[in-house]
Structure formats: structure tokens, C-alpha cells
């Protein structure tokens, strides 16, 4: 084996695309795979800082990239986002993984970008433990969001650059002899909890680095992105404080100003005063129906659809809306946002072409259609190629066509006149092309919908006794049988990974989650804490730490549904009843989406939302899930096919009635 790690070369793009396409567990999946040209374009659009490839006998076997943005997220000053970290399975037990990571961090120390951010699937315990072993810490969300990942930060480059000038020659020599950070950092556990400690009102994380016989301890202010204090200790136990060098950048703190709001015709618009994000709220819809990011004065620093950095913006009221201005030296971008007669107008004038805009349609149920095409059910992978991990692979919408989303309560139409790419069926990338008068104009139209609400279908129950078993150690239902039908899957008494949840033990359980429409994360994966739950009675459990409880009502007559009532008085966003039905890996499902019945197979989508769901179980019977109140517009069900099986999440807003009906029948609903 002649393994070489080197910087990316233009001719590598095809080989890297082939590497990703060969392996389903690659870090940037795209429906149908990607081409070399799409990979090349992606590296350019991400404003790549550095991209390493590992080559064995002329064949690319691993990659590691450092980016200023990824489409999903945008790095703050002094940060880089690690992504496309992938090693072919045959090489994962060797030195290649550590070498890629170490060489990337060494480049960061030299470049002046000193904080590394990355995301990892916590159910991939090998990768998660590796990142923890090389000094990655959790400073934000500690459970996976909708994309299945948690975010980690690594501050070792920042620490080393901050103290290097005051290190003794012996310490510098020890530092120069390092070949892997895995032997440098003090071991951290692999629990999904925050590493932040509040010291004197400052959010900090602590490091202990072994540099030969020396020990370097440091405390980092994570809000400022700067080292707060550091000490070096020698082999004889003596120590001294180190003189710190401030990082060569300044992080702009959010001003936390109230959004600018205006409303008309059942719609309300909120403009974020920190990052310029536009949110459109509509009567009768849970969460925004539309979100549009600010394009940024710097074309190489656009906001991502999940996150954007704070900016120095000026907001001034205009008739029917607001004017937003950003200045970057001599350059300027001015955006005027107005709402009239159901049309959101976004007009941009600029001295130099700004960055791209990401727009998210918040209609979760219903259909999407492009031009004269047949409408497709809203869901990733249906109707539009899902390119959310590699934006450059998105589908181009030709000028002159209309993009239309139809939900139960609202319809949204985007007339395409400027460059538009469909990342997936609810996510657009839009460029700004100025007209003859120097203004780029975007239009989005909103109309009230009239889709029917589906009723409750009568079904024939399964014969036989109903047996349900709860266990406080699993925090949920571990067994449910209707006659001979096994309804749920559960590994109890063991704990396993299921999808992106590393702590699956029950077949039915309840968690508090971030909102399903939250821009930064979206709905999670049902990861429960390790805190103990209590059995209140044979069909009722309570988690004192989470302050979440649920109770089952299970009539002996199987024609009557099992009712699950959830109590979560301290939860502020969403309460979710999670189910892992006893199904094959892929199974037929029947759903009610915005009042329309759809028959699908779970292999056809990556995620979809519905008002009611029926899932075919392994023995051919069907599990039906619906809100106890069928008229509830805010209670929705998410379906996520995974390599572990089908995950069902029944989501309701917190602090209202949260109750669900579950029924097992011999046939699907009519």
C-alpha cells in the first residue's frame, strides 16, 4: 500500500464522485448520485478553504474538506466547517482517518482560521468517538436535528496559535513532533451532552493537551471564539500562566433585536434584524409557510438555509414593508421587502452581485408541481431530485415556468424568471439577476387553499387479546401484541441505534423536541436522556428530569383504539410520540396528506408529513396512527425510512392537548 495524502487537484473530481457513489454511507448522499462536474462546482460554491484527498495506488480512497459554507450552514469569522470527511470502508481501521484530520488541523493553524466545526451522526459511534478523542466538544445542540447530525467544535488550533509565542523551546519541539491529535487531548466520554461550563458568566469549554512531558490547560470563551486563560505545566509539576495572543479576527455578536413585523391579508412577515432572514406566517398554519435568507454583501459568505451569521444591517420602514441595507466597505446591498394582495415582493439593488438566497417552503403536507408536470406528494425524493447535501446537484427550474405548492390551508406559487435551482421539493436556491434598471426582483404568491379534511376511516380490527407491556428502564412500551400480531419492534433489554438515534430501546416512547419548522435544527430523532423514568401505573410512565409523562388507555375490545395521552407542561416547542412498527425494511404505507389519500412504499421517500398514517406490518396487518382529535391541524405525523426500519413520529405543539389513537386492523383504510 502506497498511501498518499495531498491537496485536491482538478482531475480528482470524477474519482471522488465515484468514491461517494459506490458507498451508501458517504457523507453527502444525493438521490441518483453525483457527477464529477457537480462535485467540482460544489467545491467552488462552498468557498473551499482546503480539500485533502487520500490516494492509494492512484485510486482516491478518502477525502476531507474545510469550507466557509456548506449551503446548510455558514461559518463565523475564524471558523471553518469540516465536511466530506469520508474514508472507504477497507481503510477505516488504519491510520488514514487520523492523518487526514491532523493534516487539516495543521493547515488551519497556519491559515488563521482557528475553530473547526463539523457534524456527525451520533448513531455512528465509531465516528462520534473518534471526533471526541481528537478534541471535539459540544457547545450547542446535543441531540440530532432533522438532518440526523449533532454539531461539534474543535478549538485546538485556536489554543495552539494563541499560546505558541509564549511556549518554551522544549514545548515547541514536543509540539512539532506530533503526528496525531488522538494522543494529545484528554479523553472525553461519548455522551451527548454539552461540554460548556459557565464561569463568571462566560460560556467556556476546557482543554487539557499532552505535549510530550508537558501539560497545556486552557479555557476557551465559545461566544467570543477566543482563549480566556491558559497554563503550561512541566514534568516536575511546576506551572505558569501563558501570555495569550488575540485571534486575528473579531466575531460579531448578535444584537438580539426584535424582528421587524408587518401584515396583510391573513399573512404576517417577520424580518430578522440580525441576519435579514424573512419569515412569512399564515393563519391556520403551524410555523412559517415561507423562509428566505439574506443574500449577503459578500458573495462568498451567503447564509445557509439552516444558519447564517449575524450582519450589520440597517432596517427602515417603507410603505407596506421594510428596506434592509448591508454595507461591506464600498459595496452595498439594499433589499426592499413588501407584502400586498398576497404577493411577497423582494427587490434587490447592489453595487456588486451578492451571494445566493435559500428559500424554504413551509407547507409540509400537500403537493408540489413544476410547470405543467403532474403534481407530486411533498416529500424528499419525490418529484425533485434530493440534492440537500450537495447543492450543485440541484435540478434547474427553467425560466418561464411556475413552481406551485398546494397545502390544506395555503397555496404558494413562485414564477421563475431568474436563476432557480430545486435542492429538494421544499427548498430553493435563487440567484439575483439585475434587470435593465439594476434591480433584481423576486416574487412569491400566497393564496388560501381549500383542500378537504379527511375523516376517520372504519377498519376491521385484528381478532385476539390485546397485550401491552411498558418498562420504566426503556422509558416506553417494549411489547404490544394484538392477537398474534406483533405491532412494535424493540431491542429491550438492550439499547441499539435506530436511524440517527443511538439510544433506541422501546417500540413506543415520548420525547420533547425542537419545533418541526425550526430553521436551525428541525424535528429530532427521539433521543431520550439517560435519566431514569418512573412507572406511575401499569400503563403510565413519567420522566422527572424531562417533566414528560404519558398514559395508555387500552380497551379489551380491539375495535377500540389504543389512546396515548401525553403530559409535558414544562416543554415549550414540540412533544412527539415515537413508534418503531414491526415492519420489513421497506413497507407499504397509506397516508392522508392535506385531505388526499396516497398509497406509497417507504423506499420512495426520505421523509414526509401526513395528517394520518397506516403502515403495513410484517404479518400483513396494518397499524393506523391519527390524532385523537381528527380536526387538529397542528398535530402531524412524520415518516422516516431508515436502514434500521421505519420510524414514525406523531408531533404536537407543546402546552395543548396531546393525544393519539393507534389501531391495528386487517386492512388499510379505504
The predicted-structure confidence for 498-515, as pLDDT tens digits, reads as follows: 999 999 999 999 999 999
Distance CA 125, CA 98 (A): 16
Distance CA 666, CA 485 (A): 10
Distance CA 67, CA 51 (A): 8
pLDDT interval class at 451 (50, 70, 90): low
pLDDT of residue 449: 82
The predicted-structure confidence for 200-253, as pLDDT tens digits, reads as follows: 999 999 999 988 899 999 999 999 999 999 999 999 989 999 999 999 888 888
Q: Which residue, chain included where needed, has cell 514536543?
A: 174
pLDDT of residue 212: 87
pLDDT of residue 455: 60
- Residue 452 confidence (pLDDT) above 70: no
pLDDT of residue 180: 60
pLDDT interval class at 383 (50, 70, 90): confident
pLDDT of residue 192: 79
pLDDT of residue 112: 84
Q: Which residue, chain included where needed, has cell 399564515?
A: 282
- Residue 458 confidence (pLDDT) above 80: no
The predicted-structure confidence for 520-578, as pLDDT tens digits, reads as follows: 999 999 999 889 999 998 999 999 998 999 999 999 999 999 999 999 988 889 999 99
Q: In the predicted model, what is the mean pLDDT of residues 271-277?
A: 94
- Residue 27 confidence (pLDDT) above 90: no
442 bridge partner residues: 346
3-state secondary structure of 168: coil
Distance CA 660, CA 652 (A): 10
pLDDT interval class at 141 (50, 70, 90): confident
pLDDT of residue 184: 67
pLDDT of residue 92: 85
pLDDT of residue 253: 80
Name the DSSP class of 274: T
As given in the structure block, the three cell numbers for residue 633 are: 391541524
The predicted-structure confidence for 622-640, as pLDDT tens digits, reads as follows: 999 999 998 888 999 999 9
The predicted-structure confidence for 319-366, as pLDDT tens digits, reads as follows: 999 999 999 989 999 999 999 999 999 999 999 888 899 999 999 999
pLDDT of residue 299: 80
pLDDT of residue 628: 95
Show Cβ contacts of residue 306 under 8 Å, excluding neighbours closer than 6 positions: 72, 73, 147, 519, 520, 521
As given in the structure block, the three cell numbers for residue 352 are: 456588486
Which of 92-106, 116-130, 163-177, 232-246 is least confident?
Answer: 92-106
pLDDT of residue 106: 83
- Residue 26 confidence (pLDDT) above 90: no
pLDDT of residue 530: 87
pLDDT of residue 182: 58
Distance CA 512, CA 624 (A): 23
pLDDT of residue 187: 63
- How far lies 128's CA from each of 123, 149, 191, 622, 650, in Å? 8, 10, 10, 36, 28
- Residue 127 confidence (pLDDT) above 90: no
- Residue 422 confidence (pLDDT) above 90: yes
pLDDT interval class at 3 (50, 70, 90): confident
pLDDT of residue 600: 96
Kindly report the average pLDDT of the chain as a whole number. Answer: 92
Distance CA 505, CA 603 (A): 24
pLDDT of residue 38: 96
Distance CA 185, CA 502 (A): 24
The predicted-structure confidence for 142-198, as pLDDT tens digits, reads as follows: 889 999 999 999 999 999 999 999 999 999 998 877 666 655 676 676 677 889 999
pLDDT of residue 457: 65
Amino acid at each position: 500500500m502506497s498511501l498518499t495524502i495531498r491537496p485536491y487537484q482538478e482531475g480528482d473530481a470524477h474519482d471522488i464522485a465515484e468514491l461517494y457513489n459506490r458507498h451508501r454511507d458517504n457523507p453527502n448522499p444525493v438521490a441518483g448520485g453525483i457527477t464529477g462536474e457537480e462535485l467540482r462546482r460544489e467545491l467552488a460554491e462552498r468557498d473551499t478553504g482546503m480539500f485533502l484527498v487520500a490516494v492509494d495506488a492512484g485510486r482516491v480512497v478518502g477525502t476531507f474538506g474545510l469550507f466557509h459554507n456548506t449551503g446548510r450552514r455558514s461559518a463565523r469569522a475564524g471558523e471553518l466547517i469540516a465536511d466530506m470527511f469520508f474514508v472507504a470502508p477497507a481503510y477505516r481501521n488504519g491510520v488514514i482517518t487520523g492523518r487526514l484530520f491532523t493534516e487539516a488541523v495543521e493547515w488551519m493553524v497556519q491559515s488563521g482560521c482557528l475553530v473547526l466545526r463539523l457534524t456527525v451522526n451520533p448513531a455512528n459511534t465509531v465516528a462520534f468517538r473518534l471526533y471526541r478523542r481528537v478534541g471535539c466538544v459540544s457547545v450547542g445542540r446535543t441531540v440530532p436535528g432533522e438532518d440526523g447530525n449533532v454539531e461539534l467544535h474543535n478549538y485546538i488550533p485556536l489554543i495552539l496559535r494563541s499560546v505558541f509565542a509564549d511556549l518554551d523551546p522544549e514545548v515547541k519541539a514536543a509540539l512539532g513532533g506530533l503526528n496525531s491529535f488522538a494522543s494529545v487531548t484528554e479523553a472525553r466520554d461519548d455522551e451527548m451532552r454539552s461540554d460548556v461550563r459557565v464561569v463568571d458568566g462566560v460560556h467556556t469549554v476546557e482543554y487539557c493537551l499532552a505535549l510530550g512531558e508537558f501539560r497545556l490547560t486552557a479555557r476557551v470563551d465559545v461566544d467570543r471564539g477566543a482563549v480566556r486563560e491558559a497554563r503550561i505545566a512541566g514534568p516536575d509539576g511546576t506551572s505558569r500562566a501563558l501570555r495569550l495572543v488575540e485571534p486575528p479576527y473579531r466575531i460579531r455578536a448578535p444584537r438580539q433585536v426584535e424582528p421587524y413585523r408587518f401584515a396583510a391579508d391573513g399573512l404576517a412577515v417577520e424580518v430578522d434584524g440580525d441576519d435579514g432572514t424573512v419569515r412569512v406566517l399564515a393563519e391556520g398554519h403551524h410555523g412559517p409557510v415561507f423562509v428566505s435568507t439574506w443574500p449577503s454583501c459578500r458573495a462568498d459568505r451567503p447564509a445557509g438555509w439552516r444558519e447564517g451569521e449575524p450582519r450589520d444591517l440597517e432596517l427602515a420602514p417603507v410603505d407596506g414593508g421594510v428596506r434592509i441595507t448591508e454595507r461591506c466597505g464600498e459595496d452595498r446591498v439594499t433589499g426592499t421587502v413588501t407584502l400586498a394582495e398576497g404577493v411577497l415582493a423582494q427587490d434587490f439593488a447592489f453595487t456588486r452581485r451578492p451571494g445566493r438566497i435559500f428559500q424554504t417552503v413551509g407547507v409540509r403536507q400537500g403537493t408540489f408541481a413544476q410547470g405543467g408536470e403532474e403534481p407530486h406528494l411533498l416529500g424528499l425524493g419525490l418529484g425533485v431530485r434530493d440534492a440537500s447535501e450537495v447543492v450543485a446537484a440541484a435540478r434547474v427550474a427553467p425560466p418561464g415556468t411556475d413552481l406551485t405548492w398546494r397545502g390544506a390551508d395555503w397555496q404558494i406559487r413562485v414564477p421563475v424568471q431568474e436563476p432557480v435551482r430545486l435542492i429538494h421539493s421544499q427548498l430553493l436556491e435563487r440567484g439575483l439577476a439585475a434587470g435593465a434598471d439594476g434591480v433584481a426582483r423576486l416574487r412569491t404568491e400566497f393564496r388560501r387553499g381549500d383542500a378537504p379534511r379527511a375523516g376517520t376511516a372504519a377498519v376491521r380490527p385484528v381478532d385476539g387479546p390485546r397485550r401491552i407491556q411498558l418498562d420504566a428502564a426503556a422509558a416506553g412500551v417494549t411489547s404490544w401484541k394484538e392477537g398474534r400480531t406483533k405491532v412494535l419492534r424493540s431491542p429491550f433489554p438492550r439499547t441499539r441505534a435506530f436511524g440517527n438515534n443511538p439510544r433506541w430501546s422501546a417500540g413506543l416512547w415520548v420525547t420533547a423536541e425542537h419545533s418541526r419548522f425550526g430553521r436551525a435544527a428541525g424535528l429530532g430523532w427521539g433521543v431520550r436522556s439517560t435519566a431514569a423514568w418512573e412507572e406511575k401505573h401499569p400503563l403510565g410512565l413519567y420522566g422527572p428530569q424531562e417533566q414528560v409523562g404519558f398514559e395508555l388507555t387500552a380497551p379489551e375490545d380491539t375495535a377500540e383504539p389504543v389512546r396515548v395521552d401525553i403530559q409535558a407542561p414544562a416543554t415549550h416547542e414540540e412533544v412527539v410520540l415515537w413508534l418503531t412498527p414491526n415492519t420489513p425494511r421497506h413497507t407499504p404505507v397509506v397516508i392522508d396528506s392535506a385531505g388526499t389519500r396516497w398509497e406509497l412504499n417507504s423506499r420512495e421517500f426520505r421523509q414526509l408529513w401526513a395528517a394520518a398514517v397506516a403502515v403495513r406490518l410484517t404479518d400483513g396487518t396494518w397499524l393506523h396512527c391519527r390524532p385523537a382529535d381528527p380536526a387538529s391541524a397542528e398535530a402531524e405525523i412524520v415518516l422516516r425510512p431508515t436502514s434500521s426500519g421505519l420510524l414514525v413520529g406523531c408531533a404536537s405543539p407543546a402546552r395543548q392537548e396531546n393525544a393519539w389513537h393507534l389501531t391495528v386492523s386487517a386492512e388499510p383504510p379505504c
